[in-house]
Structure 1
């Protein structure tokens, strides 16, 4: 057994994963601001869905947003086609995650959600996917092929999507003025719940209104 070869393989995969996360910074543009503004102005809840590994990312993202002041719910696009879509209405925002933007159940879900009056945000590899074209707001996030295991297993992209969600959570948390004391109040269990003192709150951040970002996008 070549221990050094095993170590090199493991280090190489970690380096590739790091490159995938680093690629997220280049994907942040005005469409990110429009999506964040839309979500913070949303009078209802945020529903986040995806299939397969994108579904695992959606579940994590919904949790991180919820604990930082943006009530969010994970849902399965396939289950939404079996009656689950009934929970969504025109007050809500639906964020659908799909690297390829071509999974049929996700596309059908987008159509149903829009028909119910909700606003659909798509997070896919480009603005030229079927899902992006069916959404109200398209967000493009891709990673180099070599950051995916074997070039096809969704490893790097899921880390990138998760990092994108963390960026969204911070922006929304700071824009809402959501404090760490508020976070602590909903997190009484575990090591966090045992804290007697909390760090300083994150500095405030101002987001433009959704109407303004939509107007700027239409004239841009």
Structure 2
């Protein structure tokens, strides 16, 4: 590989790494985790939603939350409008992902959810704190509105990485709040190499 190609790779990696380092840090993360924990303890779920690439990140966040015993479901806004909203418990919390904060389907989902359950709380991961989605949310986790890694600043790249990392922060904070043990993790994730590692770790403690 040519040296200039390596330089370009370094530049792309640095754009994304810098964006992660520059994510604003505040107590809103702890507040979000508290809402999520209260929802699960109240027989609700952490309902995660997003559209497009943000939706793909949302699915991963939801899946990881389930693996640590934080009951979660991914709800696509379109399916929500066609009946799936009926499966959402009144004590659930809604976690939405929208880089622009203007995703029409997400705005509609928030409206529908609040009409169905007036007390539902909304957490937004977004790149615009003044957007309609942010204004409709109780807690806003700001991505810092990072520049995408490609020259046009259009293709969801860096913004997706930051959303994923914010989801990881919520997951790890939730694990620590719940004092998740290797035994408990193994109960949810007993398959594959990771399941074997969790089993061995649980036997050491």
TM-score (norm 1): 0.83
Q: 2:123 aligns with which of 114, 118, 121?
A: 121
Match for residue 99 of structure 2?
Answer: 99
Structural RMSD (CA): 2.0
Measured after TM superposition, the shift of residue 49 of structure 1 is 0.7
Q: Secondary structure of the equivalent of 1:197?
A: helix
CA–CA separation in structure 2 for the residues paired with 1:13 and 1:143 = 16
Structure-to-structure mapping, 1:48-197, within 5 angstroms: 48-117=48-117, 118-145=120-147, 147-150=148-151, 151-195=153-197, 196-197=199-200
Comparing 108-117 and 131-140, the one that deviates more: 131-140
TM-score (norm 2): 0.88
CA–CA separation in structure 2 for the residues paired with 1:176 and 1:101 = 30
How many residues of Structure 1 are paired with residues of Structure 2 in the alignment? 197
Match for residue 30 of structure 2?
Answer: 33
1:147-188 deviation per Cα after TM superposition (whole angstroms, max 9, x unaligned):
432212111111111111111111111111221211112222
Quickly say closer, same or farther: Cα 1:69–1:12, change in 2 above 3 A.
same
CA–CA separation in structure 2 for the residues paired with 1:200 and 1:139 = 37
In 2, are the aligned partners of 1:143 and 1:156 still within 8 Å (CA)? no
Measured after TM superposition, the shift of residue 190 of structure 1 is 1.0
CA–CA separation in structure 1 for the residues paired with 2:187 and 2:90 = 30
- The answer to whether residue 9 in structure 2 is matched with residue 5 in structure 1 is no
Q: Secondary structure of the equivalent of 1:100?
A: coil
CA–CA separation in structure 2 for the residues paired with 1:170 and 1:94 = 19
CA–CA separation in structure 2 for the residues paired with 1:194 and 1:89 = 34
Measured after TM superposition, the shift of residue 121 of structure 1 is 1.5
